[in-house]
Structure 1
Amino acid sequence: MKKLILPAMLAFVTTMTAAQSIGKYLETRLGVVSYTHRRSFQKDVAATLDTIKALGFTNIEISNLFGKTAAEFRKLLDERGIRCTSFGVGYPDLVNKTDEVGNNAKTLGASFVRVAWIPHEGSFTIETAKQAVADFNAAGKTLKEKYGLSFCYHNHGYEFQPYEKGTYFDFIAANTNPAYVNFEIDILWAFFPGADPAALIRKHGNRMKLMHVKDLRKGVKGDFSGKTDGNNDVAVGTGQIDIPAVMKAAKKAGVIYYYIEDESDHVGVQVPQSLAYLKKL
């Protein structure tokens, strides 16, 4: 009897230790996306940063300067002991204002620059994907060689349409230079079009540098549009995505920063719930 109980107990302890280690691993890597608090930021940047700090966040991905200069925003961050690790910009600015983007990112203290949408009319096409590859390689090279910044593309769902033997995302990954272009995986926008976020992370390994952590309301059906109602974002761990599997894959792949993103009208309730869930993993 003892021979049967002991292995079971050891397996239980090992499982618990592995689960707890993910929460510990996230301590220095977990942050929040400014877009989560966009409505509040539009009213009062300083007060919103106070709220974010009160929640326990000291890491933020800035995706809008909300009328401030990069230097003004950096001052507000420094006064609160918050660091900007990633700077999100639009595709046109990445391509047409690369130097301005690089300077702003450096001023904010970021080490990453991110783009989250490739402009396209109607369905996403291979021609658009090819142009994005060229633009990402060029801008990524400038940001790396001139400013010491790493560029990441953030998926948004439409890239997972089938193309040849894979998807458009596979095409983008295969044709961008890993020295200049990597990825921020948004796990909702991988799951929504039918991809498995954990499998995607395992496939692309250390090219997955950043993550948007979020969850999709149960019962919601996805598609390739890259769009859904913001209130389909639910507290992490309460939706459809297998968060423990995703986090296990991400830890193994060496994802550097994880940002909670919540596009719903209920961030005041859901963000603390998401944070508490992730800490307990």
Structure 2
Amino acid sequence: MSTPQLSVQLYSVRQALEADEDAALARLAALGLTSVEAFGFTHRADELADALARHGLSARTGHAGFLSPDGAPGTDLDATFRAARRLGVEILFDPFVPASRWADEKEIARTAALLNEAAERAAGHGLRVGYHNHSQEFVHTVAGVSAFDFFVDLLNPEVALEIDLFWAAAGGNDVVALLGRLGSRVRALHVKDGPVIDDPFTSGAPFDPADTGQVAAGHGQIPLAASLAAAPHAEYAVIEFDHYDGDVFEGIATGISYLKGKGIA
């Protein structure tokens, strides 16, 4: 059993980063963080790497969309992987495959094949890759199991998973049982709390993150402590908010205190 490293997904503070990147990173560093999870970096890896270094931060994990075929943005795999390595990323997760691609068995198999191919090419860059869930992956049933479980069974062993606990619960899962099924594939967790909501991504209605009701870790209905215990192979525990009512840095600080209380730093 390993103790995961504490981190924060920079998407949580995206507005602050847009307003003043250095000030936002300085606030994160002042909270005692040394690790962050990067996003939106493929076009500015040098700039972001320099900014992180100025504040004693590193990005050991990152998010980039590399599973969109047919020439969609982000599908230049080698360029994406070079950008990730410039930041020092060790595991790069694709953060979102649209709901329409989880309703069809062939599309799920194609997504798995794309990820397996990406894993092979990433290895040449000294990089691991994986997938980060939301809730749409769990809505449909394929061959008697959820679309996500079907997908995971098609992945090569070297492919990692980052389980977002809030979104996994929104997908109708007992998240502790899910983590038990996935076992050593789970290499990172998004430690995200709030109410257990219904999946919003297959409803057809516009998604508003403000409707998720997310709260600081330890203050919602997601079984975070049991989930952390159920993921002994997780290397990273990543705090994230899609939306937070109030000062998001205070929400992050509360999450840090919660995780430190569980021995995660």
User: What's the TM-score bracket when you normalise by the shorter of the two chains?
Assistant: 0.7 to 0.9
Q: Is 1:208 equivalent to 2:205 in the alignment?
A: no
SS of the equivalent of 2:17 reads helix
Which residue number in structure 2 is paired with residue 10 of structure 1? none
SS of the equivalent of 2:221 reads coil
Deviations 1:101-154 (A, max 9, x none): 11001100110111111134497322321221111111111001x101111100
Change (3 A) 1:198 1:48: same
Tell me how far apart the structure 2 counterparts of residues 244 and 198 of structure 1 sit (CA, whole Å).
10
Residue of 141, 152, 159 corresponding to 2:130: 152
Residue of 29, 33, 36 corresponding to 2:12: 36
What are structure 1's unaligned runs of at least 5 residues? 1-20
Residue of 197, 217, 225 corresponding to 1:236: 217
Which residue number in structure 2 is paired with residue 276 of structure 1? 257
Code of the residue aligned with 1:131 in structure 2: it is R
Higher alpha-carbon Rg: 1
Which residue number in structure 2 is paired with residue 55 of structure 1? 31
Shift of residue 247 of structure 1?
A: 1.0
Show the 5 A alignment for 1:1-281.
Answer: 25-26=3-4, 29-65=5-41, 69-90=44-65, 91-92=67-68, 96-121=75-100, 124-144=103-123, 146-161=124-139, 162-179=141-158, 181-217=159-195, 220-223=196-199, 225=201, 229-230=209-210, 231-250=212-231, 252=232, 254-265=233-244, 266=246, 267-281=248-262
SS of the equivalent of 1:147 reads coil
Give the structure with the larger helix fraction: 1
Check conservation: 1:193, 1:224, Cα contact below 8 A.
no
SS of the equivalent of 2:32 reads coil
**Coordinate RMSD, CA, aligned:** 2.3
Shift of residue 177 of structure 1?
A: 0.6
State the TM-score, normalizing by the size of structure 1: 0.82
Code of the residue aligned with 2:129 in structure 1: it is F
Deviations 1:13-59 (A, max 9, x none): xxxxxxxx99xx45xx0000010001111122211110110111110
Tell me how far apart the structure 1 counterparts of residues 73 and 117 of structure 2 sit (CA, whole Å).
10
Tell me how far apart the structure 2 counterparts of residues 121 and 205 of structure 1 sit (CA, whole Å).
27
What are structure 2's unaligned runs of at least 5 residues? none
Shift of residue 195 of structure 1?
A: 0.6
State the TM-score, normalizing by the size of structure 2: 0.87
Check conservation: 2:62, 2:92, Cα contact below 8 A.
yes
Shift of residue 229 of structure 1?
A: 3.2
Tell me how far apart the structure 2 counterparts of residues 47 and 224 of structure 1 sit (CA, whole Å).
33
Check conservation: 1:102, 1:143, Cα contact below 8 A.
yes
- State, as a whole percentage, how many aligned pairs show the same letter: 29
Shift of residue 96 of structure 1?
A: 2.3
Tell me how far apart the structure 1 counterparts of residues 78 and 101 of structure 2 sit (CA, whole Å).
30
Shift of residue 224 of structure 1?
A: 6.1
Change (3 A) 1:53 1:196: same
Deviations 1:72-108 (A, max 9, x none): 2111112221111012111336872100111001100
Equivalent pairs counted in the alignment come to 250
Tell me how far apart the structure 1 counterparts of residues 57 and 177 of structure 2 sit (CA, whole Å).
32
Shift of residue 197 of structure 1?
A: 1.7
